[in-house]
Amino acid sequence: MHHPWPPPSFRLLLPFLLSLFLFSLPPSFSDDGYLQLYEACSTRHFPCGSRNISFSYPFSHQDSHPECGYPDTGLSCNTTDDTLTIHIGKKQYRVKDNNIDYANYHLTVVDRDFVGNPCPRPSENTTLGLAPFQYAGDDVNATFFIDCPPSLPSPLFPVACLRDNTAGWWSYYWPGNGSLPDDEMNACGGWFVQVPMNPTAIEQWIHGETNFAQALQEGFTLSWPAEIGDWCSACNSSGGVCGYEYYIPTCFCSDGSATDSSCDKKENRKWCSACNSSGGVCGHDSSKPTCFCSDGPATDGSCDKGKLLHLAQ
Ligand SMILES: *[C@@H]1O[C@H](CO)[C@@H](O)[C@H](O)[C@H]1NC(C)=O
Ligand SMILES: *[C@@H]1O[C@H](CO)[C@@H](O)[C@H](O)[C@H]1NC(C)=O
Ligand SMILES: *[C@@H]1O[C@H](CO)[C@@H](O)[C@H](O)[C@H]1NC(C)=O
Ligand SMILES: *[C@@H]1O[C@H](CO)[C@@H](O)[C@H](O)[C@H]1NC(C)=O
Ligand SMILES: *[C@@H]1O[C@H](CO)[C@@H](O)[C@H](O)[C@H]1NC(C)=O
Ligand SMILES: *[C@@H]1O[C@H](CO)[C@@H](O)[C@H](O)[C@H]1NC(C)=O
Ligand SMILES: *[C@@H]1O[C@H](CO)[C@@H](O)[C@H](O)[C@H]1NC(C)=O
């Protein structure tokens, strides 16, 4: 026999039970999952060849829990040549000089596909995914037109090593720093990609002081906001371990609780779980924890309200 679910009596009760759940949580709670993250995310070093690489928030280790750092900041060791690698989007980059400059909040990275390549062929646009990074101020957004007709006029600058005389295709650098020339694009007929580059490296290559491969291997610089470091210092000095959950920075505390500020301000965190799983975005409205839904802030901590009213009928 078919039993409707939930049974009618429960259907009537459900909003009531949920409101109990949402409004009567104890001010502090502990959670085995958060305790595990507190422990797992406190390890911030890994071996790489003969070195012991220490790293700080917002970075994480590629194989650690995703909650240990911001997304798209995963570090790892390339065990072939013992170099520090960062995974951003679907791509891997070598961290130049194995150095992350925490004091000035930046690092320089080189596309893994360009490293050691005598004539790299840029084939993908650079994307940063959900990483908290920004391109450093003076880097150039270099545009390359690939597989175009030969001998296109200046200001398109041919990339000598990418010349394919058999197929009759040349590739060019367009010195537009992100902007695109409509007419040259049409003249090319091929496709283009944009990759960030060091402006000095481009100058040296254009003037024949270095080659194209060397210019690309200078990489580009990414920075992250100092506020992230300030937030983590507050978490750390309250005895917490810095992490990231539900798209916001999260401080894991030694008692198995989690908060988006620091462990001395025990702010209950469960609201964010309900918010996130109802499709909302956890945040703050006039510094009060607020669940933002597609149609504005939720009044009860979750975006499911419409559904609940429907169930109650
Ligand atoms: C690596 O460095 C960390 C501190 O930065 C230290 O706690 C750990 O013991 C070191 N590991 C090794 C194998 O030396
Ligand atoms: C490690 O580095 C080598 C040499 O630079 C490179 O060929 C290889 O693709 C890298 N491996 C990974 C997993 O990045
Ligand atoms: C390239 O453009 C960006 C902004 O789009 C700017 O910040 C940067 O300084 C420019 N780089 C150069 C070398 O002009
Ligand atoms: C380059 O410019 C394009 C178009 O303005 C933009 O979509 C892209 O994000 C920029 N890339 C970088 C690395 O700045
Ligand atoms: C790179 O991005 C531009 C838009 O900024 C797009 O028009 C172009 O097709 C992209 N190139 C590739 C290879 O995806
Ligand atoms: C706080 O950071 C320091 C290094 O900056 C580290 O040694 C310490 O273990 C951190 N505290 C916690 C609780 O993670
Ligand atoms: C939060 O929501 C996103 C999508 O809305 C989902 O991918 C993610 O798994 C959720 N996080 C947790 C911890 O449930």
pLDDT band, residue 289 (cuts 50/70/90): confident
52: Cα separation from own chain's centroid: 24
What's the pLDDT at 196? 96
pLDDT of 200 > 80? The answer is: yes
99-124: average pLDDT: 96
- Are 129 and 89 within 8 A, CB to CB? yes
Burial class (CB in 10 A: 0-12, 13-18, 19+), 295: exposed
**Distance between Cα 181 and ligand 4 center (Å):** 14
172-181, 245-254, 284-293: range with lowest mean pLDDT: 284-293
CA–CA separation, 150 vs 171, rounded Å?
8
Closest residue (by CA) to atom 12 of ligand 4?
A: 141
Query: Does the C-beta of 250 come closer than 6 Å to ligand 7?
Result: no
Q: Which residues pair with 195 in a beta bridge?
A: 142
35-56: average pLDDT: 96
- Are 172 and 144 within 8 A, CB to CB? yes
**Distance between Cα 252 and ligand 6 center (Å):** 13
Closest residue (by CA) to atom 10 of ligand 6?
A: 236
Single-letter amino acid, residue 35:
L
pLDDT 10s digits, 128-144: 999 999 998 899 999 99
Query: Does the C-beta of 223 come closer than 6 Å to ligand 3?
Result: no
pLDDT band, residue 29 (cuts 50/70/90): low
pLDDT of 286 > 90? The answer is: no
CA–CA separation, 207 vs 311, rounded Å?
71
Closest residue (by CA) to atom 11 of ligand 1?
A: 52
Q: What share of the chain has pLDDT > 70, as a percent?
A: 86
CA–CA separation, 33 vs 25, rounded Å?
18
**Distance between Cα 208 and ligand 7 center (Å):** 50
What's the pLDDT at 1? 42
CA–CA separation, 248 vs 225, rounded Å?
14
Q: How many residues are present in the chain?
A: 313
What's the pLDDT at 180? 87
CA–CA separation, 99 vs 55, rounded Å?
10
88: Cα separation from own chain's centroid: 7
- Are 242 and 235 within 8 A, CB to CB? yes
Query: Does the C-beta of 126 come closer than 6 Å to ligand 5?
Result: no
Mutate-to-test residue for ligand 4 from 128, 141, 177, 223, highest number of ligand atoms within 8 A of CB = 141
Geometric angle at alpha carbon 251, from 233 and 280, rounded to 5°: 125
Long-range contacts formed by 72-76: CB under 8 A, 24+ apart: 72/128, 72/129, 72/130, 72/131, 72/133, 73/131, 73/132, 75/46, 76/46
The DSSP symbol for 13 reads H
What's the pLDDT at 63? 96
155-182: average pLDDT: 91
User: Measuring from each residue's beta carbon to the nearest atom of ligand 6, which residues come in under 6 Å?
Assistant: 42, 236, 239, 241
Closest residue (by CA) to atom 4 of ligand 4?
A: 178
For 138, the token pair is 């003076």
Query: Does the C-beta of 214 come closer than 6 Å to ligand 7?
Result: no
Query: Does the C-beta of 194 come closer than 6 Å to ligand 5?
Result: yes
**Nearest ligand (C-alpha, residue 176):** 3
- Are 88 and 128 within 8 A, CB to CB? yes
CA distances from 190 to 152, 160, 187 (A): 12, 17, 9
**Nearest ligand (C-alpha, residue 179):** 4
What's the pLDDT at 306? 58
pLDDT of 183 > 60? The answer is: yes
Query: Does the C-beta of 63 come closer than 6 Å to ligand 3?
Result: no
**Distance between Cα 191 and ligand 5 center (Å):** 8
Single-letter amino acid, residue 266:
K
**Nearest ligand (C-alpha, residue 93):** 2
User: Measuring from each residue's beta carbon to the nearest atom of ligand 2, which residues come in under 6 Å?
Assistant: 78, 80-81, 85, 92, 112, 115-116
What's the pLDDT at 185? 67
**Distance between Cα 273 and ligand 7 center (Å):** 8
